[in-house]
Amino acid sequence: ASDRNRKKVAPAKLTFEEIGGQENAKQELREALDFLIRHEEIQKFGIRPLKGILLTGPPGTGKTLMAKAAAHYTNSVFVAASGSEFVEMYVGVGAGRIRDLFKDARNRAAKENKQNAIIFIDEIDVIGGKREGGQQREYDQTLNQLLTEMDGIYSSESPRLLVIAATNRKEMLDSALLRPGRFDRHIQVDLPDKKARTHILNLHAGNKPLHPDVDLDKIAEEAYGFSGAQLESVMNEAAIYTMRESVDMIRQSHLSMAIDKVMMGERSDRESNL
């Protein structure tokens, strides 16, 4: 089972500089992470260790990137899983996977000689949704296991563990998850404003041949309401249009076409879900 949890483990090389916009969220996250770094003071003052951070916000806004950057910032090993990986037909399997995930984080930290480990759980709402009337026995066990693991985190232990979870649906979460000592620090990761969209477009243009006439500011204006993930797609689609035309550089028109394409794609996705 732990192989499934391990499959999303990524080399945590990403830094906060590679995340466009999100200045408030990045600042709040760094401040929270300083609790992990300044653990000796935390212990001295008898402050409760920070065990869980919840990142909330729409899809594709960079929550996963933030968790990876957090691992880099704190020199932690990074272990990741998604809520949907814990949903199984057989009672107990999900709980076992949670146990494996925490074991995996501790083992990897020991092997790599790191003091800290960050466990990232995307789509936490899948296992941590509000409990209603005892129908969801499997989910309950999985959630209980997560709570047990988090209650067993001590600031004096090595490695120090921090769980970062992400959700698009904070209001769906069971209140047990949000209690002090669990996910008690919440950071909102919003859709980017125009300035942030320009920043993100610039980041993703980094490895692409842009024509000097391209005005990314204008593209950012056209891409109103786009997420970081959609902006990444815009850059990618524009490069594909350019390549198809057998020209050397991405022009403004390629980017505008790409915006339409990404917008249409989203629309047809939504329609096919109806």
Counting contacts by CB under 6 A, is residue 20 touching ligand ATP? yes
Instruction: For ligand ATP, give the closer residue by CB, 153 or 255.
Output: 255
Of the candidate spans 63-71, 147-155, 177-185, 244-252, the one that interacts with ligand ATP by CB under 6 A turns out to be 63-71
Q: Which residue is nearest to ligand ATP (CB)?
A: 228
Smallest distance, Å, CB 28 to ligand ATP?
A: 15
Distance CA 162, CA 152 (A): 12
Q: Which residues pair with 161 in a beta bridge?
A: 117
Contact 81, 8 (CB under 8 A): yes
Instruction: For ligand ATP, give the closer residue by CB, 200 or 250.
Output: 200
Pull the structure tokens for residue 79: 């272990």
Burial (0-12, 13-18, 19+ Cβ within 10 Å), 133: exposed
Closest Cα to residue 186, out of 15, 55, 6? 55
* Owner of token pair 């057998």: 246
Query: Residues in contact with ligand ATP, total (CB under 6 A)?
Result: 19
Of the candidate spans 18-26, 109-117, 127-135, 177-185, the one that interacts with ligand ATP by CB under 6 A turns out to be 18-26
Q: Which residues pair with 250 in a beta bridge?
A: 210
Counting contacts by CB under 6 A, is residue 9 touching ligand ATP? no
Contacting ligand ATP within 172-201 (CB under 6 A): 200
Instruction: For ligand ATP, give the closer residue by CB, 98 or 201.
Output: 201
Distance CA 204, CA 223 (A): 14
Instruction: For ligand ATP, give the closer residue by CB, 64 or 141.
Output: 64
Selected binder of ligand ATP within 203, 219, 234, 235 (CB under 6 A): 203
- Residue 19, by phi and psi: left (phi above 0), alpha (psi -120 to 50) or beta? beta
Binding site for ligand ATP (CB under 6 A): 19-22, 59-65, 122, 166, 168, 200, 203, 228-229, 232
